[in-house]
Amino acid sequence: MCELFAMSSNAAASVKYSLEEFSKHGGLTAGNKDGWGISYYEGGEARLIKEAAPAASSPWVSFVAEQYLRSDCVMAHVRLASRGAVRLENTHPFDRELGGRRHVFAHNGSLDGFCDGLPLKQELYRPIGDTDSEHAFCVLLERLHDAWWKNGMPSLGERMEIVSGFAMDARRLGQANFLYYDGDVLFVHAHKRRWEENGECSEPRAPGLHVRTIERYLSGQGVDVGGLQVDCPDQEVLLFASVPLSRGDWDPIEEGTLLGVKAGREVARITP
């Protein structure tokens, strides 16, 4: 089972230990051994680091942790290959430019018949690898393209409508948990996922994602949530993970829900 993680905050925060904890799901405590990636957003660009190898034993994971990289939107993924070979071009997150911004996408699940069920109708965005996830991302950008090119950044309502329609189509093909960041809003879609039970994978079921809220920790106090270092004044943080990274108040997200998140706050929601 692939694992997703994202953080949105109102000020830049470090995710040093969370990355280490997350990497345990990349080969030590779960069956995800086929690659990992993490993106730190800064301005209109993303610092994207990924590798087609197990995260749990990767020297790159330790190197990234030692840099104390900070961002107000972080996205990470560890992969268990279900479609596409174990190669760098098939490793999440994926990124493309649209409207002068870097857009980043990561997905958990398998989409059956994705070429026919989510057809690419133009040549604007083409996959580099051969995964269903990257193909789906290209379809999403294709649907968003005209809205971004009309008058710059579309309204949040218009973006939510397009992303929600895409999510609905993806759900018909399989498991469609995904994270998508357009440089302004983090879109979080929860669906179903397979769970490891007694060494075997279950049938897909909800919840596909969990959320935890951290609110208003004063400067100097700090807080540790599964290793996430929050040390900025008046920090508001939302954390998302396929599987809770720590004990505490992680809440399951209802199946089929699409959230829009900005600066550590939920700013939009569409429920099934």
The answer for residues whose C-beta is within 8 angstroms of residue 127's C-beta and 6 or more apart is 134, 135, 138
Distance of CA 250 to the CA centre of its chain: 17
Residue recorded with tokens 């730190």: 40
Question: Is residue 4 within a helix (H) or strand (E), and if so which, with residue range?
Answer: strand 3-14
Cis peptide before 207 (omega within 30 of 0): yes
Which residue is associated with the tokens 């989409």? 111
Here the tokens at position 226 are: 């599964």
2 given a catalytic annotation: yes
Q: Which DSSP state fits 209?
A: -
3-class DSSP assignment, residue 22: helix
Which CB contacts under 8 angstroms, 24+ apart, belong to 154-163? Answer: 156/185, 156/260, 156/267, 156/268, 157/268, 159/185, 159/187, 159/260, 160/187, 160/258, 160/260, 160/268, 160/270, 163/187, 163/189, 163/258
Give Cα 24 distance to the centre of its chain: 17
Q: Name 196's Cβ contacts closer than 8 Å, sequence gap at least 6.
A: 1, 30, 31, 202
Which one of the listed residues 2, 73, 138, 232 is annotated catalytic?
2
- CB neighbour burial string for 78-95, b if at least 16 within 10 angstroms, e if fewer: bbbbbbbeeeeebbbbbb
Residues assigned a catalytic role: 2
